[in-house]
Structure 1
Amino acid sequence: MTDELWSVVAPLLPSFSSRPQGGGTAPIEARTVFTAVVYVLTSDCAWRQLPPAFSISQATAHRHFHSWTKAGLWSRLRRSARAGGDRCEPAWVLEIVTAALARSGTADRKA
């Protein structure tokens, strides 16, 4: 992922919050997780087919995808791409958003 695209995505991601009961593992860098999620979305593979090269578990990628979907990330990202001009690679962002909305079952929602 380019730095330009990440500069658009990063501010839109919900902030990490630790679990109230404690425990768990240390947070994983959001850029790594986002890249893995984008891979699954745009390659149309199953979550369980996420290559180990991403260094995160399929469950982690899937959990973040659902969390981001629930938080409205994909609609915000689409609006940002439409408003951001060429600096944010709008065609690529719209492809990511379309794949995310299709995977989440919300493809017919308008942003």
Structure 2
Amino acid sequence: MARPKPWEVDAELWTVIEPLLPKVERRTRHPGRKRHPDRLVFQGILFVLHTGIAWEHLPQELGFGSGMTCWRRLAEWTEAGVWPRLHEALLAKLRSANALDFSRAAVDGPHPRVKGGSKTGRSPVDRGRTGSRHHLITDATGIPLAVTLTGGNRNDVTQLIPLLQAVPPVRGKRGRPRRRPNAVLGDRGYDHDKYRRLVWELGVKPLIARRGIEHGSGLGSQRWVVERAFAHLHWFRRLRIRWEIRDDIHEAFLTLGCALICWRRLAAVQRRHS
């Protein structure tokens, strides 16, 4: 049997996505051209995310609709808040399957190449080139909990609190939703006593390497999971280089990428238990 393409959406995933999409009723008078099916358009968006292809080069023979149709639907769904809700729904399923580990979290913030747009800045660690930064927080096993986008001139440490606050309330079990990890791990880029105090105020223990001391703190043996998560995230070609002028569209791709990583982890858990 042929292996499904990564942009193909199976029935199980579609049952999670479809209820989150806004319903658009067709006008009875002057209805105009029939709206292209949401599922095919979503697959077109995934095709761009996976391949990095320009919207205008989207293959028409695959039935996704035009590149402009897919872009407009992406913008429409982004404005409706579909992608954070999809990510949150999949995190809840992972927690229900006992696949989320909030005992600790890990943070990091590498630079993708950028072609322009808002939320950019001259990076002090990339020869002053204009760029953006992806900031990611994962659970103890490397599952993405939240991702943010800033200019390349923003220091990692300034995004530590926004990242912790960006973690959504994760349901999936009885009782109150889980939102904060017990501890957060970071490299020397997060070494600042002011931010350690702010992390403590959120009820989270900061485990951050200090500058000026020898390597060998042992944190690297635990925080490598966030580096692996970034490798998975940047496996999506559209996220390796930021082509989008609009920051909300690039953030939509980022959040969608995190949701797809969660879906793959959930599918792996279900296969082990079947």
1:52 corresponds to: 60
Task: Determine the C-alpha separation between the residues in 1 that align with 2:74 and 2:46.
Answer: 9
Task: Determine the C-alpha separation between the residues in 2 that align with 1:36 and 1:105.
Answer: 16
- After TM superposition, the structure 1 = structure 2 runs for residues 1-111 of structure 1, keeping only pairs within 5 Å, are 1-18=9-26, 22-55=30-63, 56-85=65-94, 104-106=249-251
* Residues matched between the structures, number: 101
Is the CA contact (8 Å cut-off) linking 1:37 and 1:61 kept in structure 2? yes
Divergent runs of 4+, >4 A: none
Give the TM-score of the pair, scaled to structure 2.
0.32
- Unaligned stretches of 5+ residues in structure 1: none
What whole-Å deviation, never above 9, does each CA across 1:30-75 have from its counterpart, x for those lacking one? Answer: 1111111111122222111211123211111111000001111111
Q: Which is richer in helix?
A: 1
- Unaligned stretches of 5+ residues in structure 2: 1-8, 98-142, 145-231, 256-274
Structure exhibiting the larger radius of gyration computed from Cα positions: 2
What whole-Å deviation, never above 9, does each CA across 1:60-111 have from its counterpart, x for those lacking one? Answer: 111100000111111111101111237xxx88xx958xx5xx75143788xx
Please give the root-mean-square deviation of Cα atoms over the aligned residues, in Å.
Answer: 3.2
Task: Determine the C-alpha separation between the residues in 2 that align with 1:84 and 1:54.
Answer: 31
- Secondary structure of 1:106's partner? helix
Q: Calculate percent identity across the aligned residue pairs.
A: 31
Q: Post-superposition shift, 1:23?
A: 4.4
Task: Determine the C-alpha separation between the residues in 1 that align with 2:49 and 2:25.
Answer: 24
Q: Which is richer in strand?
A: 2
Task: Determine the C-alpha separation between the residues in 1 that align with 2:43 and 2:36.
Answer: 12
